């Protein structure tokens, strides 16, 4: 089968959408399918081109059997509603135009987290006269409204109309949580057109590894109990609470690994409080992430206390558990991800936006390492049983084949 997959993000970018698309695409390619990913020049999240890339209208490469076609992008940092929207819209337009140079596939897939990419996929499918599958990884525009980036008015109504158009234009819709499935079903989409394919992990990359003391020594962390947040430093995560916890626990080292729109504000908070136990390492290469996860004592999953985050399941939690590492999740009480962790006994969960609970839970893990190790072991077993990326990729592939035929 020939699959054309539109994605705003793709490696060497290291965020969750890029990882999911690539790991699915390479599984499909390894199974003998012709997979083309149409994406932009890599620049997320700082709005700076990755080494070796130019911002051109058309460039091609092969990554692990996947044909990757890149088009020009309005390069901007992942911050500011208007600039980000311009980035999204311009990519969508150019992706449609670039698709005219590509052969006709059997099926077209467009993925969120922003639905302009999905709408571009719908347009490409129409031009190619092929079926379209929308992959929904974020409930736009609900998420940007609840994050305070957009208020009620004509623009919001327009975006809600585009959301409905995206759902109705798709012959199939892939979602990543049960809550997303319910949301789309409530929009009048028949259940048989919706397929749930959770996020998961590549068990070859994420597995138990020895602690890397040399890595810790190089960053002044040797001999310290260390807590880390790994990922995008964005508005969705309530990361000021991590800094407040660091202020309560001066003998614990806190590390932020990643970059994003909230980094400058977080660094300002650390400076204002005069904290010496918080460090920012910025982005690290994708291949170095497992080594970092193996060397940290507590790994954080942080979500703000907003209704939209009751519906999400962060992919990083699967990576932490696959490496059999202690996980501490701060999330809304009714969050689907929190329920899953509690039912599996895979980590500690606390209320969102509560730095006192966060500090107390870190202390609990530090004081009871045997319990933390037991939960981590249960978490790995749970992930291996239910969330292997290859199995999930094949589940999505079967759905694409059903839609295509």
Distance CA 335, CA 314 (A): 11
Structure tokens at 232: 């995008």
**Given pLDDT bands bounded at 50, 70 and 90, which one contains residue 60?**
very high
More confident residue, 232 or 401: 401
Residue 116, pLDDT > 90, answer: no
Region 201-220: mean pLDDT is: 91
**Given pLDDT bands bounded at 50, 70 and 90, which one contains residue 184?**
confident
Residue 3, pLDDT > 60, answer: yes
Q: How many CA atoms lie within 13 A of 402 on its CB side?
A: 14
Distance CA 277, CA 284 (A): 20
Per cent of the chain over pLDDT 90 is: 71
Residue 145, pLDDT > 90, answer: no
Ramachandran region of residue 351, left (φ > 0), alpha (ψ -120 to 50) or beta?
A: beta
DSSP 172-208: EEEESSHHHHHHHHHTT--GGGEEE----B-TTTSS-
Ramachandran region of residue 188, left (φ > 0), alpha (ψ -120 to 50) or beta?
A: left
Q: List Cβ neighbours of 368 (8 Å cut-off, separation of 6 or more).
A: none
Residue 141, pLDDT > 70, answer: no
Per-residue pLDDT, 142: 55
Per-residue pLDDT, 374: 97
Q: Tokens 């698309």 belong to which residue?
A: 21
* Element at 244 (helix H, strand E): helix 240-248
Helix (H, G, I), strand (E, B) or coil at 82: helix
Give 62-90 pLDDT, tens digit per residue. 999 999 999 999 888 766 667 888 888 99
Mean pLDDT, the chain, rounded, equals 91
**Given pLDDT bands bounded at 50, 70 and 90, which one contains residue 348?**
very high
Per-residue pLDDT, 160: 66
**Given pLDDT bands bounded at 50, 70 and 90, which one contains residue 319?**
very high
* Cβ atoms within 10 Å of 82's Cβ, excluding its own: 9
Per-residue pLDDT, 291: 95
Region 15-20: mean pLDDT is: 87
Buried/exposed code over 105-125 (b: 16+ C-beta within 10 A; e: otherwise): bbbbbbbbbbbbbbbbbbbbb
Per-residue pLDDT, 278: 97
Q: Tokens 């020939």 belong to which residue?
A: 2
**Given pLDDT bands bounded at 50, 70 and 90, which one contains residue 146?**
low
Domains of the chain (ranges, CATH numbers): 2-200+388-404 (3.40.50.2000), 213-386 (3.40.50.2000)
Region 92-106: mean pLDDT is: 96
Give 237-292 pLDDT, tens digit per residue. 889 999 999 999 999 999 999 988 889 999 999 999 999 999 999 988 888 999 99
Region 25-48: mean pLDDT is: 94
Per-residue pLDDT, 308: 78
């Amino acid at each position: 089968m020939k699959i054309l997959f539109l994605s705003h993000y793709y490696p060497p970018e290291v965020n969750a959408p890029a990882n999911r698309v690539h790991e699915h695409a390479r599984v499909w390619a390894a199974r003998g399918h012709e997979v083309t990913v149409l994406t932009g020049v890599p620049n997320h999240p700082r709005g700076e081109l990755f080494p070796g890339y130019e911002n051109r209208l058309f460039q091609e490469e092969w990554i692990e059997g996947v044909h990757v076609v890149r088009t020009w992008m309005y390069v901007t940092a992942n911050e500011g509603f208007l600039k980000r929207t311009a980035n999204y819209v311009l990519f969508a337009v150019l992706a449609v135009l670039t698709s005219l140079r590509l052969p006709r596939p059997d099926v077209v897939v467009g993925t969120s987290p922003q639905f302009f990419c999905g709408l571009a996929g719908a347009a490409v499918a129409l031009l190619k006269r092929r079926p379209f599958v929308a992959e929904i990884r974020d409930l736009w525009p609900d998420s940007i409204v609840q994050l305070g980036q957009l208020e009620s008015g004509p623009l919001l109504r327009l975006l809600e109309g585009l959301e409905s158009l995206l759902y109705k234009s798709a012959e199939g819709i892939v979602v990543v949580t049960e809550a997303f499935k319910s949301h789309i079903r409530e929009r009048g989409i028949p259940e048989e057109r919706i397929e749930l394919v959770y996020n998961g992990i590549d068990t070859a990359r994420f597995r138990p590894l020895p602690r890397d003391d040399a890595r810790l020594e190089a960053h002044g962390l040797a001999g310290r109990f260390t807590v880390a947040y790994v990922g995008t430093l964005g508005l969705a995560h309530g990361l000021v609470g991590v800094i407040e916890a660091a202020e309560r626990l001066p003998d614990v080292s806190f590390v932020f690994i990643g970059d994003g729109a909230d980094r400058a504000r977080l660094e300002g908070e650390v400076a204002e409080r005069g904290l010496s136990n918080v460090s920012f390492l910025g982005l690290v290469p994708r291949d170095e992430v497992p080594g970092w996860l193996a060397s940290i004592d507590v790994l954080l999953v942080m979500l703000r206390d907003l209704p939209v985050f009751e519906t999400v399941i962060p992919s990083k939690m699967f990576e932490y558990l696959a490496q059999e590492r202690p996980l501490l999740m701060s999330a809304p009480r009714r969050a689907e991800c929190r329920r899953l962790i509690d039912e599996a006994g895979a980590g500690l969960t606390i209320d969102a936006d509560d730095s006192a609970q966060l500090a107390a839970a870190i202390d609990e893990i530090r004081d009871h390492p045997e319990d933390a190790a037991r939960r981590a072991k249960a978490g790995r077993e749970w992930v291996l049983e239910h969330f292997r990326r290859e199995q999930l990729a094949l589940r999505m592939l079967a759905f694409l084949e059903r839609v295509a035929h």
